Chain A
C-alpha cells in the first residue's frame, strides 16, 4: 500500500484534516479556558474541575496531532520547502494549548484570592487574551489557502494583544495602588496570574509574527 502512495493525494488530504483538527483543538482549548477561569472566579467548583479534565485531554490530543503531522511531513516528503516553518507554527499553537493548561492547573493548585472587584477585570483579560489567539487561527488557515490574506488577520492579533496588556497593567496598578487591604504576597500572587493570562496574548503575537514571515516567504 505504502508503495503505491507515491501517486496518491490521500495523505495530503489527511494532512489537511490533521492541521485543521489541531487548530480546532486550539479553539476548543480557548473556550475551555474562558469557561474554566469564569468557573474559578465565581466558585463553580464542579464546572472548573470538568474544564480542567477536558483541558488535559485537549492538551494530549494537540500533542498527538503534532506528532502525526510531523511524521507525515518529515517521512513522506510533503511540503518539503516549508515544513520547517509549518512545524514551528503548529508548535507555537501547541505551546498556546500548554499555556492554557498550565494556567488552569495553577488556578487549581494555588487558588489565588481574587478580590470581588477584580473578578470582572480578570474575566475581561481572559477574553481579550483568548481573542488574540482566536484571531490568529484564521490567519494560519489563510496561509495555506490565500497567503496574501494573512496580513489582515495578524493586525487583529496585535490589536487584542495590546488591549490585553493595557488591561493587565490596569489590574496590576489597581492591585498595588488601590488595594491597601491586600497583603504584599497576595498582590504578587494576583500580578503573577495577570501576567500568565497576558502571556497567552503574547504567544498569539508570536504566532502572528511567524505567520507574517511565512507569508512573505511563500510570496517569494
Chain B
C-alpha cells in the first residue's frame, strides 16, 4: 500500500512536471533545428531516461534535493506532497503558462514536515535564496553566452550555412545535455522511492514518467509546437544561448557548487529559467524576445507556487494530524484559494463561451448578409428579366405596327400595278415595272417577317399558348393566333393587317372564337383571354 501511495504521488507530481517543463525544453530543441536530426531524435529519449535513472544506479550521486529537508517516510504523507504539488500547479496554471512545479514540490515537502511538528532547518531557507539565484544566474549566463557567441560568429565573411551549421552542431550537442540535465535536476520526485529496493525502484522510476507522459502527451506536444513556432521565432544563436544557459543553470544547481556560496542544489523549473534566459538575451540584443505580460506572470508564478505548495501541504498535514481548528482555518484558506481559482477558471470559460457565441453570431450575421445579398441579386435578376420581357413585348408591338404599315404599302403598290398595266408608254412601263419588282421583293420580306413575328410571339407567350391549347383543344391554329394577338392588345384593324385578312373577317373570327370559348354576349372576350 505504501508503495502504491508513493507511486501515485510520483505520478501526480511527475505529470505536472512533464506538462509544464517538457514543452519548454522540447520546444527549444525543436526551434533550434536539432529536433529535426535523426541522431538527436534517437538519443533524446535515452538521455531523458538516463537522467532519471542515474541516481538509481549510482547512489553516491544522490538526489539533488534531499539536503536540509525531511523526506516523508509515510506513504500517505508522500501522497499529500504529490496532491499539494498537483493542486498548486493547477491553481497557478490558471494564470501562467509556467507554474514552478519543482518549487511547489519542495515547499510541499517543507509544509508537510512543519505540519508534523518538524521545524524548518536553516538549510531549508537557502532554497528560497537558490530559487531566486537560479533564474538570475540563467539570465546572466544567456546574456553572456549570446554576446560571446555573436562576436565570435560575426567575425569574417563566413558563409551563413557554415555559421548556422556550427550553431546547429552546438545546438544538437546542447539539446542532448539539456534534456539529461533537466531530467537529473528534476528527479527529486523520486526522492520518496524507498531506497535499496533495487529493480523495483528502477522500474517505478522508469515506469512512472512513462505513464505520466502518456497521460499528458497530447497537451505536451501541442504546447511544445506552440513554444517552437510562436514563442521562439528568433534567430538560432539566441535559441542556442537560451538552451546552453538553461543547461548550465540546471547543471550548476544539481552540483555541489551552490553550497560553496551559501546556497543549495535545488531543482529548478524549466519555464522560469526559459523566461529568465529570454530576458537576458533580450537585454543584450536590445529587443524584446518575450512578452512583458508573460514575463510578469511567470515571475508571479515562481513566487506564488512555493507559497501555495507550502500552504496546501501544511493544511493536508494538519488534517492528517487531526487538529480541528487549525485544519478548519487552513481548509478555509484553501477553500478561498480554490474558489478564487475556480472563479478565474469560470471567468475564463465564460469569456471563451462569450467569444464562441460572438464568433457564432458574427458567422450567422455574415451568412444572413450573404443571404440578403443573394435575395437582392435574385430580385434584381427577376426585375431585370421582367424589364427584358417588357422590352421584348414592346419590340413585338413595334414590329407588328411596322408589318401593318408594310401591308398598307403593299396595297398601294398593288394599285400602282393596275395603273402600270393601263399605261401605253413602253419606256415608262418598264420603269414602273422595275419599281414594282422592287416592291414585290419587299413583299417577300414581309412574309418572312410575319412568320418571324408569329414565332417570336409564340416564344414570348409560350405559357399562354400552352394553357390555351390544354383548356380549349378544339381551337384552330388561326383562332389561337387571333387569341394571342387580342391578348397583346392589337386592334381589329392591325390584326387584319397582320393576319392578312379584312377587318370584317376579323370580326367574324372573333365571334367564332367567343362561341368556341363558351362566352355569353355579356362577357368581355379580351378580359377572358387575358385571364387565361
Given contacts A2-B39, A6-B37, A6-B169, contact A80 B162 (CB under 8 A): no
Minimum CB–CB distance for B7 against chain A, Å: 35
Q: Size class of B's contact patch?
A: 20 to 34
B156-181 CB contact bits vs A (8 Å, 1 = yes)?
01111110111011001100000000
Q: Could you tell me if A77 and B158 are in contact, using CB atoms closer than 8 angstroms?
A: no
Does chain B have a CB within 8 A of A152? no
Q: Does B42 contact A (CB under 8 A)?
A: yes
Of the listed stretches B27-35, B57-65, B108-116, B145-153, name the one at the interface; the rest are far from the partner chain. B27-35
Q: Which residue of A lies closest to B175 (CB)?
A: A6
Give the distance in Å from the alpha carbon of A77 to the alpha carbon of B31 in the complex: 9
**Residues of A contacting B462 in the complex (Cβ-Cβ under 8 angstroms):** none
Measured between beta carbons, the chain A residues less than 8 angstroms from B159 are 16, 144-145
Chain B 31-75, CB within 8 Å of chain A: the 1/0 string?
Answer: 111111111101000000000000000000000000000000000
B284 interface residue per 8 A CB criterion: no
Given the known inter-chain contacts A12-B165, A77-B168, A81-B235, please indicate yes or no for A5 contacting B160, CB distance below 8 A: no
Q: Contact between A12 and B161 (Cβ–Cβ < 8 Å)? A: yes
* Complex CA distance for A144 and B163, rounded to whole angstroms: 10
Which A residues are CB-close (under 8 A) to B161? 12-13, 15-16, 19, 78-79, 144
Give min CB distance, A71 to chain B, whole Å.
Answer: 12
Report the minimum CB–CB distance from B160 to chain A (whole Å): 4
Q: Known: A78-B161, A79-B161. Is A6-B40 also a contact (CB below 8 A)?
A: yes
Chain B residues whose C-beta falls within 8 Å of the C-beta of A82 in the assembled complex: 160
How far is it, in angstroms, between the C-alpha of A173 and the C-alpha of B352 when the chains are bound? 63
Instruction: Report the Cα distance A11→B39, complex, angstroms.
Output: 14
- Quick check: is B287 within 8 A (CB to CB) of the other chain? yes
Task: For the complex formed, measure the closest distance between the CB of B29 and the CB atoms of chain A, giving whole angstroms.
Answer: 10
Chain B min CB distance to A133 (Å): 22
What would 15 A/B residue contacts be, using CB atoms closer than 8 Å? A3-B39, A6-B39, A6-B172, A7-B169, A7-B172, A8-B169, A9-B165, A12-B161, A13-B161, A77-B33, A77-B35, A80-B33, A80-B36, A82-B160, A144-B161
| A176 beta carbon closer than 8 Å to chain B | no
A76 within 8 A of B: yes
* B157, A146: Cβ atoms closer than 8 Å: yes
Interface check A143, CB cutoff 8 A: yes
Docked Cα-Cα span, A11 to B165, in Å, equals 8
Interface size on A, as a range, is 20 to 34
CB-CB under 8 A from B233, the residues of chain A are: 81
Query: CA–CA, A209 to B208, complex, Å?
Result: 54
Q: Is the CB of A9 within 8 A of B37?
A: no
> Any chain B CB within 8 A of the CB of A75?
yes
List the A side residues contacting B236 at CB < 8 Å: 80-81
Q: A9-B162, A11-B165 are in contact. Are A75 and B36 (CB under 8 A)?
A: yes
Contact of B173 among A2, A7, A16, A143 (CB under 8 A): A7
Find out whether the CB atom of B37 lies under 8 angstroms from the CB atom of A76. yes
Contact A13 B162 (CB under 8 A): yes
> What are the residues of chain B within 8 A of A76 when measuring CB–CB?
36-37
Q: Which residue of B lies closest to A141 (CB)?
A: B159
* A79, B234: Cα distance in complex, Å: 12
Cβ-defined contact, A9 with B38, below 8 A = no
Residues of A within 8 A of B42 (CB): 3
Q: Which of A5, A19, A81, A146 makes the CB contact (< 8 A) with B37? A: A5
Q: Tell me whether A79 and B162 are in contact in the complex, defined as CB-CB below 8 angstroms, given that A6-B39, A146-B157 are known contacts.
A: no
Cβ-based interface call for A4 (8 A)? yes
Query: Do A144 and B160 touch across chains, with their CB atoms under 8 A apart?
Result: yes
Q: What sequence of 0s and 1s flags, for each residue 71-89 of chain A, a beta carbon within 8 Å of any chain B beta carbon?
A: 0000111111110000000
Of the residues A2, A4, A79, contact of B160 by C-beta under 8 Å: A79
Complex: A76 Cα to B39 Cα, angstroms:
10
| Cβ-based interface call for A220 (8 A) | yes
Contact partners of A13 in chain B: CB under 8 A: 161-162
Q: Least Cβ distance of B234 to chain A in Å?
A: 7
Interface digits, A111-134 against B, CB 8 Å rule (1 contact, 0 not)?
000000000000000000000000
| Residue interface mask A176-220, B partner, CB < 8 A = 1 | 000000000000000000000000000000000000000000101
Complex Cα spacing A61 to B35, Å = 31
- B-facing mask of A1-40, CB < 8 A → 1, else 0? 0111111110111011001000000000000000000000
**Given that A3-B42, A145-B157, A220-B287 are known contacts, is A79 also in contact with B164, CB under 8 Å in the complex?**
yes
Q: What residues on A are CB-neighbors of B166 within 8 Å?
A: 9
A77 vs B34: C-alpha distance when bound (angstroms): 6
Considering the complex, give the chain A residue whose CB is closest to the CB of B34.
A77
